[in-house]
Chains A and B, each alone.
Chain A
Amino acid sequence: MAKQLGMVIDANACIDCKGCMVACKVANQVPGDNWRNWIKDGAMDRSAKSKKRMVFQPGNCMQCDKPTCVTACPTGATYKSKADGVVMINRDLCIGCGQCIKACPYGARYRNEKLKVADKCDFCSNRREVGLEPACVSTCPTKARAFGDLNDPSSPAGKLYAAQKEEAVQVVNAQSDTDPNIYYLGAPGDKHWPVKAQMPSAFTFWKNVADPGVKVLMGLMGVGVLAMLGKQLVMKNDAPEEHHGEDGHE
Chain B
Amino acid sequence: MADSYRPALSRRGFLKLAGAAGAAAALGGGGLSASKPAQAAGGLRPGFESKFTVCDMCFNKCSAIARVQGGVVQKLDPNPKFLKSRGMLCARGNAGVEQVYSRDRLKYPLLRVGERGEGKFKRISWDEALDIAAEKMKSIGERYTRCGFMFMAGSDMQSSFVHRFAEAYGSYNTLSHESMCLIAGTRAFLDTFGEVPIPDMLYTKYVVMVGANRFESLVTPDSIDLMTAMNNGAKLVVLDPRYTKTAAKADEWFAIRPRTDMAFMLALAHVLIKEKLYDRKFVGEKTYGIEQLAKHVEPCTPQWASEQCDIPAEDIARIARELAKAAPAAMVYPGRRSSNYTDSTQIRRSYAIVNALLGNWDRPGGLTAARKVGLSGGVPFEPPFYENNPEDRIDAGRAKLMFPEEGSFKLARDAVIAGKPYPVKGWFTYHTNPMQTAANRQKTIKMINDMEFMISMDIQMSDTAWMADLVLPSQTYLERQDPCTAQQGSSACACVVMRDPVVAPLYESKPVFWVMQQIARRIGLGEHFDFTIEQFREKQLSGLQGAMDALKRDGVYYNPSKLYGVYEGKIYKTKSHKIELFNSRYAEMGLDPMPVYTPPKAGGYDRFRLVVGRNAVITQSSSQNNSLLVKFQPTNHLWIHPDPAKEMGIKDGDWVWVKGPHGKQRLQAKVTHQTRPDTVYMATGFGVLSTGLKNIYGEGACIAEVLNDDFDGISGNMAMHETWVSVGREAA
Task: State whether A2 touches B97 (Cβ < 8 A).
Answer: no
Task: State whether A81 touches B42 (Cβ < 8 A).
Answer: no
A67 near B: Cβ within 8 Å?
yes
A28 / chain B contacts, CB cutoff of 8 Å? 42-43
A66 / chain B contacts, CB cutoff of 8 Å? 14, 17-18, 21-22
Task: State whether A18 touches B32 (Cβ < 8 A).
Answer: no
Per the bound structure, the CA–CA distance linking A86 and B392 in Å amounts to 67
Task: State whether B249 touches A90 (Cβ < 8 A).
Answer: no
Task: State whether A125 touches B633 (Cβ < 8 A).
Answer: no
Task: State whether B28 touches A161 (Cβ < 8 A).
Answer: no
Task: State whether A18 touches B616 (Cβ < 8 A).
Answer: yes
A104 near B: Cβ within 8 Å?
no
Task: State whether B40 touches A125 (Cβ < 8 A).
Answer: yes
B30 / chain A contacts, CB cutoff of 8 Å? 79, 81-83
Query: Which A139-164 residues sit within 8 Å CB-CB of chain B?
Result: 139-143, 161, 164
> If A18-B616, A65-B14, A65-B21 touch, does A129 touch B37 (CB 8 Å cutoff)?
yes
Task: State whether B674 touches A44 (Cβ < 8 A).
Answer: yes
Of B71-79, B270-278, B722-730, the stretch lying at the interface with chain A is B71-79
Query: Which A39-56 residues sit within 8 Å CB-CB of chain B?
Result: 42, 44, 46, 49-54, 56
Tell me which of A17, A29, A194, A213 has the highest count of chain B C-beta atoms within 10 A of its own C-beta: A17
A204 near B: Cβ within 8 Å?
no
Per the bound structure, the CA–CA distance linking A67 and B23 in Å amounts to 12
Of A19-27, A221-229, A232-240, the stretch lying at the interface with chain B is A19-27
Per the bound structure, the CA–CA distance linking A16 and B30 in Å amounts to 36
Task: State whether A70 touches B25 (Cβ < 8 A).
Answer: yes
Per the bound structure, the CA–CA distance linking A44 and B247 in Å amounts to 10
Pair count A-B, CB < 8 A: 284
> If A174-B2, A193-B3 touch, does A52 touch B245 (CB 8 Å cutoff)?
no
A18 / chain B contacts, CB cutoff of 8 Å? 91, 616-617, 632
Per the bound structure, the CA–CA distance linking A25 and B43 in Å amounts to 10
Task: State whether A27 touches B682 (Cβ < 8 A).
Answer: no
> If A26-B94, A210-B24 touch, does A170 touch B8 (CB 8 Å cutoff)?
yes
B430 near A: Cβ within 8 Å?
no
A231 near B: Cβ within 8 Å?
no
Q: How far is the CB of B246 from chain A (nearest CB, A)?
A: 8
**When the two chains form the complex, which single residue of B27, B32, B74 contacts A216, counting CB atoms closer than 8 Å?**
B32
Query: Which B626-641 residues sit within 8 Å CB-CB of chain A?
Result: 628-629, 631-633, 636-637, 639
Q: How large is the interface on B (under 10, 10 to 19, 20 to 34, 35 or more residues)?
A: 35 or more
B45 near A: Cβ within 8 Å?
yes
**B95 (CB) vs chain A CBs: closest residue:** A22
> If A212-B29, A250-B639 touch, does A139 touch B89 (CB 8 Å cutoff)?
yes
**B24 (CB) vs chain A CBs: closest residue:** A210
Q: How far is the CB of A199 from chain B (nearest CB, A)?
A: 15
- Tally of contact residues, A, Cβ under 8 A: 98
Per the bound structure, the CA–CA distance linking A53 and B251 in Å amounts to 8
Task: State whether A53 touches B28 (Cβ < 8 A).
Answer: no
Q: How far is the CB of B202 from chain A (nearest CB, A)?
A: 13
A248 / chain B contacts, CB cutoff of 8 Å? 637, 670, 672
A202 near B: Cβ within 8 Å?
no
B248 / chain A contacts, CB cutoff of 8 Å? 42, 44, 52-54, 56
Task: State whether B7 touches A122 (Cβ < 8 A).
Answer: no
**When the two chains form the complex, which single residue of A80, A172, A174 contacts B26, counting CB atoms closer than 8 Å?**
A80
Task: State whether A130 touches B48 (Cβ < 8 A).
Answer: yes
Task: State whether A212 touches B227 (Cβ < 8 A).
Answer: no
Query: Which B99-150 residues sit within 8 Å CB-CB of chain A?
Result: none
Task: State whether A191 touches B3 (Cβ < 8 A).
Answer: yes
**A85 (CB) vs chain B CBs: closest residue:** B22
A198 near B: Cβ within 8 Å?
no
**B639 (CB) vs chain A CBs: closest residue:** A250
Per the bound structure, the CA–CA distance linking A13 and B631 in Å amounts to 23
Per the bound structure, the CA–CA distance linking A171 and B8 in Å amounts to 10
Task: State whether B42 touches A139 (Cβ < 8 A).
Answer: no
A17 / chain B contacts, CB cutoff of 8 Å? 90-91, 215-216, 218, 616-617
Q: How far is the CB of B93 from chain A (nearest CB, A)?
A: 7
B376 near A: Cβ within 8 Å?
no
Tell me which of A1, A140, A184 has the highest count of chain B C-beta atoms within 10 A of its own C-beta: A140
Task: State whether B7 touches A82 (Cβ < 8 A).
Answer: no
B26 / chain A contacts, CB cutoff of 8 Å? 79-83, 85
> If A18-B632, A89-B38 touch, does A194 touch B249 (CB 8 Å cutoff)?
no
Per the bound structure, the CA–CA distance linking A171 and B38 in Å amounts to 27
Q: How far is the CB of B223 from chain A (nearest CB, A)?
A: 7
**When the two chains form the complex, which single residue of A81, A89, A164, A174 contacts B3, counting CB atoms closer than 8 Å?**
A174
Task: State whether B39 touches A88 (Cβ < 8 A).
Answer: yes
Query: Which B606-640 residues sit within 8 Å CB-CB of chain A?
Result: 615-617, 628-629, 631-633, 636-637, 639
> If A90-B32, A139-B88, A250-B681 touch, does A192 touch B249 (CB 8 Å cutoff)?
no
Please report B residues at the A interface, Cβ cutoff 8 Å.
Answer: 1-9, 11, 14-15, 17-19, 21-33, 36-46, 48, 74-78, 80, 85-95, 97, 215-216, 218, 223-224, 227-228, 231, 243, 245, 247-253, 615-617, 628-629, 631-633, 636-637, 639, 670, 672-674, 681-683
| Extra inter-chain contacts (16) besides given A79-B32, A125-B38, CB under 8 Å | A12-B249, A17-B215, A19-B88, A25-B628, A28-B42, A50-B252, A53-B247, A115-B41, A125-B40, A126-B42, A132-B44, A168-B8, A169-B5, A192-B1, A195-B1, A250-B633
10 CB contacts below 8 A, A to B, read A15-B249, A53-B253, A56-B248, A65-B15, A79-B38, A127-B44, A164-B8, A169-B8, A195-B1, A210-B28
